[in-house]
Amino acid sequence: MLELLKELEFRIRKLEIIQNSIVRLGKVTNRYPDKNRVRVEFQGNDKIVSYELEVLHPKTKDDKFYFMPDIDEYVLCVFLPYAPSTGFVVGAYYDKNYTPPVSNNDEFYVKFSDGTEIFYDRKQHLLKATVKGDIDITAVSSHFTTITTHDGDITINGNVVINGNLQTNGNIQASQQIRDLDGVSGSLSDLRKVYNEHTHQNGDASKPPVQQV
């Protein structure tokens, strides 16, 4: 009977050790992006550093997702009970030092370390993106790319280069002059003036007009 109690006590202690080791908190100390792994220093006075741990992602097969945690970022780790050296980083978490950037159940927000932000409010149907750099969007094997606004204008601040033809089903309004390939610029007012008021040398209409745009 005594031996049985000792065996039960041993098993209970072993289960407690396993239970306490399945889920652990810590901060990232090393990153191995080519292997999708990190090392984590666990909370506690012993400062134990883990083996290389796999970082979990939402999708990894046909659809892929990749976003590595930063050095010193606090993460939650889980370990297999039958293989305590095999573990995974489930994700990062906020605390009193690193607080959430938004506090609304309807908002989706991503902020990168360089200041680039992506924000969506599903209640207001509002999508905002602030990019600290260049934007490159490529539509592969696409016959049509459509940008539609049902109410309001589309504003582009900057120069626009179109490698192709331009077709408009409405009017074109320009506050400045229009320049051709030869570098000659002018306005519709200039064209009308030349057309309506032009003259020919000696009144000969077969000769080029004196006024040129």
Global pTM value: 0.67
Angle at 77 between CA 74 and CA 82, to 5 degrees: 160
Instruction: Retrieve residue 52's tokens.
Output: 């290389």
For residues 24, 27, 30, 31, the Cα torsion angle rounded to the nearest 10 degrees is 80
Q: Which CATH number fits domain 1-92: 3.40.50.360, 2.40.50.230, 3.90.1300.10, 2.60.120.10?
A: 2.40.50.230
Least confident of 93-107, 110-124, 176-190: 176-190
Cross-strand bridge partners of residue 118: 110, 129
36: which 2 tokens?
């999708």
User: Within 10 A of 185 (CB to CB), how many other CB atoms are there?
Assistant: 12
Of 138 and 34, more confident:
34
Phi, psi at residue 78, to the nearest 5°? -125, 150
Per domain, the residue ranges of the chain are 1-92
3-state secondary structure the chain: CHHHHHHHHHHHHHHHHHHHHHEEEEEEEEEECCCCEEEEEECCCCCCECCCEEECCCCCCCCCCCCCCCCCCEEEEEEECCEEEEEEEEEECCCCCCCCCCCCCCEEEEECCCCCEEEEECCCCEEEEECCCCCCCCCCCCCCCCCCCCCCCCCCCCCCCCCCCCCCCCCCCCCCCEECCCCCEECHHHHHHHHHHCCEHHHCCCCCECCCC
pLDDT at 213 over 60: no
Using a 10 angstrom Cβ sphere, with 0-12 exposed, 13-18 middle and 19 or more buried, the burial of residue 144 is exposed
Q: Give the tens place of pLDDT for each residue, 113-162.
A: 999 999 999 999 999 999 999 888 888 876 777 887 777 788 888 888 88
| Phi, psi (rounded to 5 degrees) for 112 | -95, 165
pLDDT band at 57 (very low <50, low <70, confident <90, very high): very high
